[in-house]
Amino acid sequence: MLLLRSILFQTYWWGISAVMTISHVPLFLAPRKWTVHQIKMWGRVSLWGLRNIVGLDVEVRGREHIPQGGALIASKHQTMWETIALFNLNPDPAIIFKRELTYVPFYGWYAMKAGMILIDRSTKATAMRRMIRRGQECIDQNRQIVVFPEGTRRPVGAEPDYKSGIYGLYGQLNVPCVPVAHNSGLYWPRRGYTWRPGKVIIEFLPPIAPGLKRQEFMDTLQNTIEAATDRLVAEGQN
């Protein structure tokens, strides 16, 4: 049954993704907000499929900490699920993507049109300057910058590997940083194609005020996210 549900969801997901992606190409000629709306709609129907086909529901905690204006959102990264969820839960997010994703037809085009922050990680100093410059533009537009501090997806239980690049944003942009924890890795396959039923819990934690020194900020961010993630993973395993 688990395999059958996963096959059905995969068929549904790829199907609706293809239809929505191709049919909304004319939005490239419309204002950016229409592309953002379309991506949010795709996220909602994706989560609907997870709930009704796989049996995977969502619980959002700490909604009072979801920023409505310019802020930095730092999330644990285990699967693609949180990318979809965070785009839908925040009013106008700018997710930091690696530039290589822009080469993916349609996916990369929509990311650029929606105003995501694209960086070339092979040019570290240049990438950091560009990320800060684009980040400031987004803050000036009252958008939320979504960043995954570990830089890539990490399996449940893996040792944390937080990169210092997030401090460059935090230190330069002078905005609060909202940590985010979740347990999506228990249900969404990091590799493979078997989605599991259950309930993903995502939690927005109290914001870290601007102004902390580098080490204090990095320690606070990592300890906050990791402690909450461990708690949510344990809750999902019970």
| pLDDT > 80? residue 77 | yes
On whether the CB atoms of residues 157 and 169 are closer than 8 A, the answer is: no
Mean pLDDT value across residues 188-196: 85
Whole-angstrom Cα distance, residue 115 to residue 109?
10
Output the average pLDDT for the chain: 92
pLDDT digits (tens, 9 = 90+) for 152-169: 899 999 999 999 889 999
> What predicted TM-score, i.e. pTM, was given to this entire model?
0.92
pLDDT reported for residue 63 = 96
pLDDT reported for residue 212 = 97
pLDDT reported for residue 57 = 97
pLDDT reported for residue 109 = 83
Cβ neighbour number for residue 165 with a 10 Å cutoff: 19
pLDDT digits (tens, 9 = 90+) for 212-222: 999 999 999 99
On whether the CB atoms of residues 17 and 107 are closer than 8 A, the answer is: no
Percent of the chain with pLDDT over 70: 100
| pLDDT > 90? residue 100 | no
pLDDT reported for residue 207 = 97
pLDDT reported for residue 99 = 75
> Which CATH number applies to 57-237?
3.40.1130.10
| pLDDT > 90? residue 98 | no
Contacts of 148 (CB under 8 A, 6+ apart): 74, 75, 76, 77, 96
Mean pLDDT value across residues 183-190: 92
pLDDT reported for residue 121 = 72
> What is the phi/psi pair of residue 94, to 5°?
-120, 100
Decide which of 108 and 218 is more confident.
Answer: 218
Domain segments of the chain as ranges: 57-237
